[in-house]
Structure 1
Amino acid sequence: MIPTQMISNRLVRAALLFTAIAAIVGETRSRAAGEDARATPSAPTLTSRLEPLIRAHKGKVAIAVKNLKTGEEFHHRGAEVQPTASLIKFPVMVEAYRQAAEGKVDLDARITLRAEDKVPGSGILTDHFSAGDQIALKDAIRLMIMSSDNTATNLVLDAIGIGATAATMESMGYPNTKIHSKVFRRDTSVFPERSKAYGLGSTTADEMVRLLEALHAHRLASPSACDRMIEHLRTCDDRDKFPKGLPYGTKVAFKTGSVDEARTAAGLIDCPDGTVALCVLTCENQDRRWVPDNAGNVLCADVARAVFAHFSQPGAAPSAAR
């Protein structure tokens, strides 16, 4: 018979040996896990991609992003009212199509261009069309979006009313989205104080993204009208903002705006992981050069590139920063 004391000593030694082995195994597993973590870092989040771009820009920035398939979002100063420049022509198009659906305007109606209608800036009507020429309202809308034609915009505003866009946007839940006057015609302003503060138009990044989401979901007008508006946005010829940051052939339906101290862009980008609504607003920019690599243009392109990259990676890390 084995003495009780001997059995006790053996049990103690076995327990100590088991503890030592467990410690060694645990340390080995911990070391391996650490090595794996270093070898395969977690995917960057949308926040980690965008915040360095925002910090580096010398000016005020507001950004809103939403993946319309997954619901993933990013917001930076999304509710802050900022100038739109010509980006406000997108809501003007929405109002024109809504009025057409209600029978208030006829998209095929011919508009006669008068000499006094011509204003400077972007577009082709002022320099390449003669007083007395006629175009259809739908063609004026197309020029307003495609080449951001200022004269065409004013013709559209004559047809639908300057204050109509703001009234409709407010009734639909976009109270900060307003065009204030005709382009280069501050004397026509229906919101004089906002004209002084923001220029041609005003909005927030959040409202622009929600408006784009509603357009994508065919909630702004009939499905066919929404599809036509998206097609108009796909003709936008500003290649210095979103398109410059995207792979060749990426489908993007967007509108932009540019004035001395502000650069803006908003649109729908087809990414591998779903259609994304994106808005970038900049103002009070230090770089006021009228060159393709203006810092505001570059920021718009860089944000679009970062967003596309994020929604191209498998298992994108979620982000809901505000």
Structure 2
Amino acid sequence: MTQRPSQASRRPSPLALLLALALAHAHAATAQEATPPQAPAELASKLTALAEAHKGKVAIALKHLKTGESFALNADVPMPTASLIKFPVMIEAYRQAAEGKVDLNAPVTLRKKDMVPGSGVLTYHFSEGATFPLVDAVHLMITYSDNTATNLVLDAVGIGSTAATMEAMGLPNTKIHSKVYRRDTSVFPERSKQFGLGSTTAADMVALLDDLHARKIVDEKASEAMWNHLLTCDDKDKFPRLLPPNVKIAFKTGSIDDARTCAGVIETKGGPVALCVLTSENEDKSWGPDNAGNLLCARAAREVYDSFSARADGPAN
């Protein structure tokens, strides 16, 4: 007698859903390849001018998430991420949670050897032995770009797993290479030498943001949770800097000496726009808010906001 499989056994896993989503992206891209809708020419011109004036390498990608209008400049060129790669790490944590491989409510304990320098609060404001849920480490990783929290999350999900999931989603250039400030843990040594902590493309980041905004990554509940984490990012020097104070942005950023990165969804008056700005080999290596990479991110965000907000009462709304 053949036993009928249960409903649970027939339900596709989150990884299978991610694979299906990647295939859907490929089919959609093929269907739209001939006549992709383009962002306004004036906006494209302004973004190109900003990139050309910057003393360093620049990649920009954007997509209006309702009309599909897009713009790309070096958008398929792999670039260093700095802490922007923590966004895909968060996706991997929620994917593994959905598959039962990790428990986001399980406690993690902060040890002295876990503490690394740089951005965040754990190393500087928490005592050894502090215990908190893994989901709080994820939140600290996104909100404050906490390096120690990131390494705790990587301990839970594994360093190489994020890259494997991104590849399954059709984003093979998006990888975290090692723990933060722990180059000796690299699972991609050559990429670590070239890109540092992580690597991606502007197009990859916009694709992830598009799916997250549509609540298609892992599942609706997980997507909503991840979206809410991104809404709390506390970097005021990049996308938010020149925008009106009431504008909602779900985003993540990264900063190292010669690179500044930012990717997020900006709620313009004319609809949501996913935007990614990546810079590297920057001449300006200063760490103040007026760093040239920060200003490029801020100015690009303002141009995008103004362009799409200007049509709020027009047909594209």
Distance 1:142 1:58, change over 3 A: same
Task: Identify the residue that residue 299 of structure 1 maps to in structure 2.
Answer: 296
The answer (yes or no) to whether the contact 2:63–2:70 under 8 Å persists in 1 is yes
- Cα deviations by residue, 1:128-174 (Å, 9 ceiling, x for unpaired): 11111101100000000000000000000000000000000000111
Partner SS for 2:148? helix
Task: Identify the residue that residue 207 of structure 1 maps to in structure 2.
Answer: 204
Distance 1:250 1:190, change over 3 A: same
Q: How does 1:269-280 map to 2 (within 5 A)?
A: 269-280=266-277
Q: Which whole-Å CA distance do the structure 1 matches of 2:86 and 2:204 have between them?
A: 14
Count of matched residue positions in the alignment of Structure 1 and Structure 2: 276
- What is the identity, as a one-letter code, of the residue corresponding to 2:89? V
Task: Identify the residue that residue 177 of structure 1 maps to in structure 2.
Answer: 174
Q: Which whole-Å CA distance do the structure 1 matches of 2:126 and 2:310 have between them?
A: 48
The structure 1 segments of at least 4 consecutive aligned residues displaced by more than 2 Å after TM superposition are 314-317
Q: Which whole-Å CA distance do the structure 2 matches of 1:82 and 1:312 have between them?
A: 29
- What is the identity, as a one-letter code, of the residue corresponding to 2:161? A
Q: Which has the larger radius of gyration?
A: 1
Consecutive unaligned residues of structure 1, counting only runs of 5 or more, are 1-42, 318-322
User: Are residues 1:224 and 2:221 paired?
Assistant: yes
- Cα deviations by residue, 1:230-260 (Å, 9 ceiling, x for unpaired): 1100100000000002111100000000000
The answer (yes or no) to whether the contact 1:80–1:204 under 8 Å persists in 2 is yes
Shift of 1:315: 8.3
Partner SS for 2:178? coil
Task: Identify the residue that residue 97 of structure 1 maps to in structure 2.
Answer: 94
1:60 to 47, 57, 74: 57
Distance 1:277 1:260, change over 3 A: same
User: Are residues 1:246 and 2:243 paired?
Assistant: yes
User: Are residues 1:187 and 2:187 paired?
Assistant: no
User: Are residues 1:119 and 2:116 paired?
Assistant: yes
Task: Identify the residue that residue 193 of structure 2 maps to in structure 1.
Answer: 196
Identical columns (%): 65
Distance 1:115 1:312, change over 3 A: same
Partner SS for 2:97? helix
Q: Which whole-Å CA distance do the structure 1 matches of 2:255 and 2:125 have between them?
A: 22
Q: Which whole-Å CA distance do the structure 2 matches of 1:258 and 1:113 have between them?
A: 24
Q: Which whole-Å CA distance do the structure 1 matches of 2:299 and 2:264 have between them?
A: 15
RMSD: 1.5
Q: Which whole-Å CA distance do the structure 2 matches of 1:314 and 1:128 have between them?
A: 46
Task: Identify the residue that residue 282 of structure 1 maps to in structure 2.
Answer: 279
Higher relative contact order (CA 8 A, sep 6+): 1
Q: Which whole-Å CA distance do the structure 2 matches of 1:176 and 1:207 have between them?
A: 8
User: Are residues 1:236 and 2:257 paired?
Assistant: no
Shift of 1:307: 0.3
Shift of 1:49: 2.0
The answer (yes or no) to whether the contact 1:310–1:316 under 8 Å persists in 2 is no
Task: Identify the residue that residue 308 of structure 1 maps to in structure 2.
Answer: 305
Task: Identify the residue that residue 21 of structure 1 maps to in structure 2.
Answer: none
Partner SS for 1:253? strand
- What is the identity, as a one-letter code, of the residue corresponding to 1:67? H
TM-score (norm 1): 0.84
Shift of 1:113: 0.6
The answer (yes or no) to whether the contact 1:45–1:316 under 8 Å persists in 2 is no
Q: Which whole-Å CA distance do the structure 2 matches of 1:94 and 1:274 have between them?
A: 24
The answer (yes or no) to whether the contact 1:209–1:278 under 8 Å persists in 2 is yes
The answer (yes or no) to whether the contact 1:257–1:263 under 8 Å persists in 2 is yes
Task: Identify the residue that residue 23 of structure 2 maps to in structure 1.
Answer: none
Task: Identify the residue that residue 28 of structure 1 maps to in structure 2.
Answer: none
